[in-house]
Amino acid sequence: MPRREDLHKVLIIGSGPIVIGQACEFDYSGTQACKALREEDIEVVLVNSNPATIMTDPGFASRTYIEPLRLETLKRILERERPDAVLPTVGGQTALNLAVALAESGTLDRLGIELIGAKLGPIQIAEDRLRFREAMRGIGLELPRSTYVRGLAEGGAALAEIGLPAIIRPSFTLGGSGGSLAESESQFHELLEWGLRQSPRGEALVEESVLGWKEFELEVMRDRADNVVIICSIENFDPMGVHTGDSITVAPVQTLTDKEYQRMRDAAIGVIRKVGVDTGGSNIQFAVHPDTGKMIVIEMNPRVSRSSALASKATGFPIAKIAAKLAIGYTLDEIPNDITRETPASFEPTIDYVVTKIPRFAFEKFPGADSRLGIQMKSVGEIMSIGRTFRESLQKGMRSLEIDRYGFDASSLSDAQLREQLREPGPERLWRIGDAFRRGWTLEEIHAQSRVDPWFLNQIRELIREDEAFDATSDLRRAKRNGFSDRRLAELCQVTEDEIRRRRLEQGIVPVFKRVDTCGAEFKAHTPYLYSTYEQECEAHPSDRPKIVILGGGPNRIGQGIEFDYCCVHAVMGLRQDGYETIMINCNPETVSTDYDTADRLYFEPLTLEDVLAVVECEQPLGVIVQFGGQTPLRLAAALERAGVSILGTSPDAIDRAEDRERFADLIVKLGLRQPKNGTARNVGAAHKLAQRIGYPVVVRPSYVLGGRAMQIVHGPDALEVYMREAVAVSPEHPVLVDRFLADAIEVDVDAICDGRVVVIGGIMEHIEEAGVHSGDSACSLPPYSLPRYTIEEIRRVTRMLALELGVRGLMNVQFAVARDQVNVLEVNPRASRTIPFVSKAIGQPLAQFAARVMAGKSLAELGFTAESEPDHISVKEAVFPFVKFPGVDTLLGPEMKSTGEVMGIDREFGRAYAKAQSAAGMGLPDSGAVLVSTRDEDKARIVEPVRALAELGFRILATQGTARYLSERGIRTETVHKVSEGPRNTAELLTRGEVDLVIVTTRTGDPEAVQHSMAMRRAALEHSVPYFTTVAGARAAAAAIRAQRAGDIEPIALQDLYPT
């Protein structure tokens, strides 16, 4: 059946900011969908609040709305754009939920707009556990026993019916958020209460636990002619009980016979037909009892998912792209397989390698968070690795994680701790299994504790045997075939990595590159999507074109995420315009950069020196670009250069000059600039002396970090003492930096581009939160909304001086602190920053593309980009945090970055733009109601103005005692409420009862007691979804935004209306 002729304009809903459970996989799928529809001359309208995505580049849709993913906003966009259909299946759970809301509110019917990809009925069946269970029963499939609970009162009956252990899952949440396991009765009631709160509908499912069963996933696609294919089968290394997003997973399935696999395949086909998804893809999860083979269905996602992104990368079959084509009416047999070209998409990929996905966690960012894994997802990113055997694939994956581990290194845990960590999996369980084998524990014992399938355990056992026995006389080729890194082998032989490398090359042991081709080599592959392995035949077949390697960013983590992938993709786009062949190396399966369609050639490889050098040796590029992938490639720059690789753009020496604080201080002096007093300490004693000289408070941090890892503001010698012990442990090779902390300063971020002669400012961003909050966590405004003109001029002047002095070729980010009208330079990063995509969207210029082309030799004059753009609209960026996933963790912001994602609000005026950004971040501001205020003494004077503004807008003002008195004395009518420690009618209670609509709470961050006291209030605000502000500046901006939204409806704006594309 050819495509439908009645669809001319389709609206695609994106997934919004990166949060745990919804990351850049939906930029990958959304971007593919945009491309697939535009290929068909369909006009695409896109809505997504996340500016760091490729899909929101104005070139990918006809109309691009970077607007809040809220029902009201969507309605207005639909009313204005009048698309023929909405495609809700490529934007994760967010898009699906919005589509359901649009349909249920009658908007779609009223406007005559159709849902394509998945209709309302199938979505409802798949999402509603009860209806899903009924549907499954109808086709003879079982689910775990379960029952719905719609209030605490129904808890007892549910417990009696299901028994313990039981799983409690709130309805309609993403990433299994709020789901938890109850093993005792009291725990059951406690978790049920929490679960009901998490659900937007106050509803939770209580379910029989199938902990320890084998877990599988199938990626299924179906077209409107009812052709169904399985794209990929995935087996979870971690059995049932660990969220699949937090599990190590392997493709294809390893421990099912064909009979069992086909039964599962039949079931999956039955499920997709019964639920009724008829033009798209679904992910279906199964659990299998390890001893009896009993199979049950766990769930079905009627949309593309994180797993489908993984499956696409694992097989070379682009699920989202094909799903988009199916949604507009094509059938699978009408769509060609891009890789083989001669065969159609109506087949099932077969692979001749093993794919491993390993999640990346960030518990170090959230002290106090429970790091045990369960059915609520906690990982922030993932890597994928490809090897010819499971062992090779696993070990390549371990070194891809970028946690400075290159193999199964041993731990010094006690046996008891080890046993506990086997039983209650944490982020390091894989290594714990290795430890257990190393200590001679039996496979049976380890299986009994971990429930990991013996097949996987045996593979690890073999690796540990080899690891333990390896020495200078061992078979190096065999070790390489089993995935051992040079670095690990060097540790085992107690020699340098270079030495192992030298021996390896001497013996002619080098990797070859094989292709991912969907078909196990049955047909010729036309797409250079490659992975390394130690075999005989190499299929890389490098071209003799001039080529450039771009190093990607590796796994998403806090501080390094989609923004850098955006830059890498733009580097490809830019270099391609200048005729270069582009070669991408990356190991993050969620990304657009690892779409084989992005760069000319894709090497799906770990970003380690060894693996990058192997590609470089094979390809012989003109050079390598390390500027765009964040800290990961930067860390490799010096070693790559030493190995004779040409690093394009700003020289590694210039990078070092900016990053090394001693050299940087010299630079500042030379240019006559200002920076906060600072110094470098290599031991505890020196740190104390230094802090004394500089004067408290000081900011302390290890050198060479991204995302403010281990950065703290320290207010006195005792706190410094504690910090030094921890910090030195964090980074033993690097000293600790101590800077004077400029309290109450305004921070400013500048992104600029330089070709060595000309410097062009990309954007100047004024932070909303004052100094002390990490720039990645702070909201900001472009252009600055409060700085005087002369300060902005000074910032421009300093930026230009720095870029020219450092000889920057490409991008540069400078952070300033403006205090008492003086411009201080905090740091300079001669590379792509996290804000590049935001700035690019705000000014309508592809900065990363320009930068890549400059690095390859073009001048800014040649690119026609010689003057700073000064847009007449305001863009506000706001950060999005994962606190809700980590019960008991404080939401207070500080110099260590904690946000996972960002949103953007664009409008003609600051208040409106800020209101949009808040709404997009899930903190939609109220128009009226009650404000709860509690501030530290230092802030009291400055809080008066915003609180007075709110009072004038008709808000009731509630405040804790000290604050209330201060406000009342200044003529603001204020009601006094208790602090949490002061008994009933306290702040947390009011929040719980829904009597508060907005919270302003600031705390002395240097005072642990004060922080502790106010934490309950912050958590309560978070858990009850009440917008809260922990800084005066934030409160001020909120007041401005509320005034703006009260002044009139805030209209969505398409990027294409702001600047010509």
Partner 1 sequence: MSPASTSAYLVLSDGTVYRGEAFGARGEGEGEVVFHTAMTGYQEILTDPSYAGQIVCMTYPEIGNVGTNPQDEESCGIFLRGFVVREHVDFPSSWRSRESLQAYLERHHIPGISEIDTRALVRRIRTQGAMNGVLVHGEASQEELVARARALPSMAGRNLVDEVTCREPYRWDQGRDWAPDPAPMPRYHVVAYDFGVKRNILRNLVNAGFEVTVVPAHTSAEEVLALQPDGIFLSNGPGDPAAVEYAIPNVRKLVGKRPLFGICLGHQILGLALGGRTKKLRFGHHGANQPAQDQATGRVLIVSENHGFALDADSLASNSELEITHINLNDRTVEGLRHRRLPLFSVQYHPEASPGPHDAAHLFSRFRKLIEGQRAQA
* Interface ranges with partner 1 (CB under 8 A): 1, 140, 225-227, 229-230, 233, 252-259, 261-263, 265-266, 290-293, 331-333, 342-344, 346-354, 388-390, 453-455, 458, 462, 514, 519-524, 535-537, 539
Closer residue to partner 1, CB minimum distance, 194 or 261: 261
Cβ 89 to partner 1 shortest distance, Å: 22
CB of 112 to partner 1, least distance (A): 30
Helix (H, G, I), strand (E, B) or coil at 555: coil
CB of 429 to partner 1, least distance (A): 19
CA gap 1035, 872 in Å, rounded: 25
Alpha helix ranges (H) inside 695-788: 717-730
Q: Phi-psi category of 221—alpha, beta or left, where left has phi over 0 and alpha has psi -120 to 50?
A: beta
Nearer to partner 1, 387 or 810 (CB): 387
CA–CA gap between residue 991 and residue 974 (Å, rounded): 17
Complex with partner 1: residue 259 or 973, whichever CB lies closer: 259
Nearer to partner 1, 521 or 867 (CB): 521
Between helix 25-39 and helix 92-104 the angle, nearest 10°, is 60
Could you tell me which residues come within 8 angstroms of residue 970 by beta carbon, excluding any fewer than 6 positions away?
944, 948
Judged by CB, which is closer to partner 1: 30, or 239? 239
Q: Distance of CA 592 to CAs 17, 553, 572, 584, Å?
A: 16, 12, 11, 11
Distance CA 7, CA 36 (A): 14
Minimum separation from the CB atom of position 235 to partner 1 (A): 10
- Cα angle 465, 466, 469; round to 5: 85
Q: How far apart are CA 410 and CA 292, in angstroms?
A: 35
Query: 173: which 2 tokens?
Result: 């949440």
For residues 292 and 412, which CB has a smaller minimum distance to partner 1 in the complex? 292
Q: For the CB of residue 342, give the shortest distance to partner 1 in the complex, in Å.
A: 7
Smaller CB separation from partner 1, 512 or 638: 512
Angle 133-135-140 from CA coordinates, rounded to 5°: 90
d(CA 753, CA 761): 6
- Nearest approach in angstroms of CB 882 to partner 1 is 36
Q: Which is nearer to partner 1, 263 or 503 (CB)?
A: 263
Instruction: Specify whether the CB–CB gap between 857 and 810 falls below 8 A.
Output: no
Q: Is 82 left (phi over 0), alpha (psi -120 to 50) or beta?
A: left
- The vertex-575 CA angle with 574 and 581, nearest 5°, equals 145
CB of 481 to partner 1, least distance (A): 8
Q: How far is the CB of 529 from partner 1 (least distance, A)?
A: 14
Shortest spacing between CB 119 and partner 1, in angstroms:
22
Give 386 or 933: the residue with its C-beta nearer to partner 1: 386
Q: Answer for the pair 41, 944: CB distance below 8 angstroms, yes or no.
A: no
How far apart are the C-alpha atoms of 849 and 831, rounded to whole Å? Answer: 13
Can you tell me the distance from the alpha carbon of 171 to that of 186, in angstroms, rounded to the nearest whole number? 22
Closest separation in Å from C-beta 344 to partner 1: 5
Least CB distance to partner 1 at residue 266 (A):
6
Nearer to partner 1, 317 or 366 (CB): 317
CA separation for the pair 172, 127 (Å, rounded): 7
Report yes or no: 503 and 490 within 8 Å, Cβ to Cβ: no
Q: What's the one-letter identity of residue 287?
A: A
Nearest partner of 878 among 850, 917, 830, 835, judged by Cα: 917
| Backbone conformation region of residue 929, classed left if phi is above 0, alpha if psi is from -120 to 50, else beta | left
Q: Toward partner 1, which CB reaches closer, 184 or 458?
A: 458
CB 139 → partner 1: shortest distance, Å? 10
Quick check: 806 and 776 in contact, CB under 8 A? no
Q: Which is nearer to partner 1, 346 or 680 (CB)?
A: 346
Distance of closest approach, residue 328 Cβ to partner 1, in angstroms: 18
Q: Which is nearer to partner 1, 538 or 665 (CB)?
A: 538
> Please, what is the minimum distance in Å from the beta carbon of residue 456 to partner 1?
8
C-beta of 215 vs 770, nearer to partner 1:
215
Q: Which is nearer to partner 1, 252 or 946 (CB)?
A: 252
CB 329 within 8 A of CB 2: yes
**What does the block give as tokens for 266?**
């039949």
Burial 41-69 (b: 16+ CB within 10 A, else e): ebbbbbbbbbbbbbbbbbebbbbbbbbbb
Please list, residue by residue across 632-669, b when 16 or more beta carbons sit within 10 angstroms of its beta carbon and e when fewer do: bbbbbbbbbbeeebebbbbbbebbebbbbbeebeebbe
Q: Closest CB to partner 1 among 10 and 229?
A: 229
User: Minimum Å distance from CB 505 to partner 1?
Assistant: 20
Instruction: Output the smallest distance, CB 315 to partner 1, in A.
Output: 11
Phi/psi at 721 (5° precision): -55, -50
For residue 333, give the DSSP letter: G
